[in-house]
Amino acid sequence: MAHAQTAWPARPLRIVVPYPPGGQTDGIARAFGDYLARLVGKPVIVENRAGAGGVIGVAEAKRAEPDGTTILCTISSSLIQNRITVKDLPYDPERDFIYLTMVSGAGGPVVAAKKTGATNLREFIEYANKAGSLNWGSYGVGSTPHVLIETIAKQYGIRFQVIQYRGEAPMWNDIAGQTLDGAAGSYAAAAPVIQAGTGNLIGVVGSRLPPYPDTPTMTEQGAIGDFYELRAFTTFAVPVGTPKEIVEQLSPMLIQAGSDPKVQQMLNNFLLSSPADFETTNRIFKRDSDVMLRILRDLGVKPSE
């Protein structure tokens, strides 16, 4: 029996990514997958199962045989926000998966369109008050930019209209085109707008961004709330029921990937942390879930029909 246990994996591994090819989650999955393939001596295939805000791919991974050959690679919103924003969610993130490791973003940029003239949070609030109302970009009910503007408005009493986009790229295009007043999201997607000067980095959710060390966080500028301390993460997980001995092999392998030069390069490009250990991963997942779910309920966010 012991010999049979050491035979994992008996067949190629697959990493299910609930988002399209070419995005950050896909890039993370492929870099870690390449490393894993070299380590276990079996092919690792990345399967993109995009759609419904991550629901399709996560549900696909949940249904997989729990034998350690199917790994889910997904972002925090599909496991946390979806519990509030999706009606009849076909998976339970706390009961259906075992979380192996995660990488976290450095911080989420908050950007004002150049036309606002705002270079910090105070100036953006002043602009909002003068304009009467803001056009704010978001990419889904309960997403980071949506929760951010709701939280800002609650503290500062500004008026706004949320424009929901199908993904970050078109939202940032409209910041560049000056049809939006502000938006927030991932550094990888926002960087071209900030670098081109069509949007001004006015603050950061989480910790300061290494390329812009002089831009203070939202908390440092007086914004109040647990939300501003959260950092989006990407996690690797396996379906519950996966044998403990496989989890105890697979988790360290994925964590070890962080020392691989190719993986390190990818993490640096996306301003991501090194892979967290098993305990830290599960502690952060629980803490962030509790904080974000409470905020969404307090804001009265409901499932979209």
CATH assignment at residue 259:
3.40.190.150
Are residues 174 and 130 located together in one domain of the fold?
yes
Burial class (CB in 10 A: 0-12, 13-18, 19+), 88: exposed
* Among candidate residues 229, 249, 268, the one where a domain is terminated: 229
Answer yes or no: is 186 within a domain. yes
Are residues 224 and 86 located together in one domain of the fold?
no
**105, 77 in Cβ contact below 8 A?**
no
Give the range of the structural domain holding residue 263, as residue numbers without chain letter: 2-105+232-298
Give me the amino acid identity at 72.
L
Give the model's pLDDT for residue 56: 96
Q: What is the pTM of this model?
A: 0.86
Are residues 147 and 190 located together in one domain of the fold?
yes
Are residues 65 and 157 located together in one domain of the fold?
no
Are residues 101 and 236 located together in one domain of the fold?
yes
Q: How far apart are CA 236 and CA 257, in angstroms?
A: 12
* Domain at 117, CATH number: 3.40.190.10
Are residues 238 and 264 located together in one domain of the fold?
yes
Are residues 9 and 98 located together in one domain of the fold?
yes
DSSP 211: T
Answer yes or no: is 303 within a domain. no
Are residues 199 and 236 located together in one domain of the fold?
no
Give the model's pLDDT for residue 1: 34
Helix (H) or strand (E) holding 56: helix 55-63
**32, 257 in Cβ contact below 8 A?**
yes
* Among candidate residues 201, 229, 257, the one where a domain is terminated: 229
Query: Nearest-5° angle of CA 227, CA 80, CA 282?
Result: 90
Q: How far apart are CA 121 and CA 32, in angstroms?
A: 37
Answer yes or no: is 304 within a domain. no
Answer yes or no: is 305 within a domain. no
Are residues 139 and 27 located together in one domain of the fold?
no
Are residues 180 and 101 located together in one domain of the fold?
no
* Among candidate residues 188, 212, 229, the one where a domain is terminated: 229
Give the model's pLDDT for residue 6: 54
Are residues 72 and 161 located together in one domain of the fold?
no
Q: Number of structural domains, the chain?
A: 2
Are residues 77 and 165 located together in one domain of the fold?
no
Residue-level pLDDT, tens digit, the chain, 305 residues: 333 445 899 999 999 999 988 888 999 999 999 999 999 999 999 999 998 889 999 999 999 999 999 999 999 999 999 999 999 999 999 999 999 999 998 889 999 999 999 999 999 999 999 999 999 999 888 888 999 999 999 999 999 999 998 788 899 999 999 999 999 998 988 999 999 999 999 999 999 999 999 999 999 999 999 999 898 899 999 999 999 999 999 999 999 999 999 999 999 988 999 999 999 999 999 999 999 999 999 988 888 75
Answer yes or no: is 124 within a domain. yes
- Look up residue 134 and give its two tokens: 């803001």
Answer yes or no: is 250 within a domain. yes
